[in-house]
């Protein structure tokens, strides 16, 4: 008997579980993303609340970061570019930041949070990727 198993990395349709949480690739921080509205729709203004945690429930202040949105491997948004600081990490003193964005078309996207420094100390860049679906 031949069995075939398909494993895929599912796109997350937000709504029921609207908070996305993932550790960065190097494990230095946990990143939480909370979108508003909870259901992501094209041509609807969206805000992403990003929280950096050192330990569960303990917000990490002073993080150097960037927030990227890609569609089919193509960069469609960069928080640093939107502020005129392309290639230069942004800084949050409080460890919590809200970033607005409006998706132009429905489909699969990837939200990426890159971390470049913690408490004014540079680190080897780490990232957390969140695949999502926009309707």
* pLDDT beyond 90 at 3: no
The C-alpha atoms of residue 73 and residue 101 are separated, in whole angstroms, by 18
Per-residue pLDDT at 18: 81
3-state DSSP call for residue 75?
Answer: strand
pTM (two decimals): 0.86
What pLDDT, in 10s, does the model give residues 75-130? 999 999 998 888 899 999 999 999 999 999 999 999 999 999 999 999 999 999 99
What pLDDT, in 10s, does the model give residues 44-68? 999 999 999 998 889 999 999 999 9
CA angle 28, 30, 31 (to 5 degrees): 125
17-134 has which fold? Immunoglobulin-like (2.60.40)
How many residues does this entry show for the chain?
135
Burial of 64 (0-12, 13-18, 19+ CB in 10 A): buried
Tell me if 46 sits within 8 A of 37, measured CB to CB. Answer: yes
């Amino acid at each position: 008997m031949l069995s075939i198993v398909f494993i895929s990395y599912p796109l997350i349709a937000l709504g029921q579980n609207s908070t996305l949480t993932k550790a960065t690739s190097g494990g230095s921080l946990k990143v939480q993303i909370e979108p508003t509205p909870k259901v992501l729709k094209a041509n609807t203004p969206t805000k992403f609340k990003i929280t950096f945690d050192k330990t569960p429930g303990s917000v990490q202040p002073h993080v150097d970061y960037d927030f990227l949105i890609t569609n089919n491997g193509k960069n469609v948004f960069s928080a640093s570019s939107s502020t005129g600081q392309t290639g230069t990490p942004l800084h949050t003193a409080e460890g919590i930041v809200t970033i607005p964005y409006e998706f132009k078309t429905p489909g699969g996207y990837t939200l990426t949070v890159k971390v470049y420094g913690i408490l004014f100390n540079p680190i080897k860049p780490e990232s957390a990727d969140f695949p999502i679906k926009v309707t």
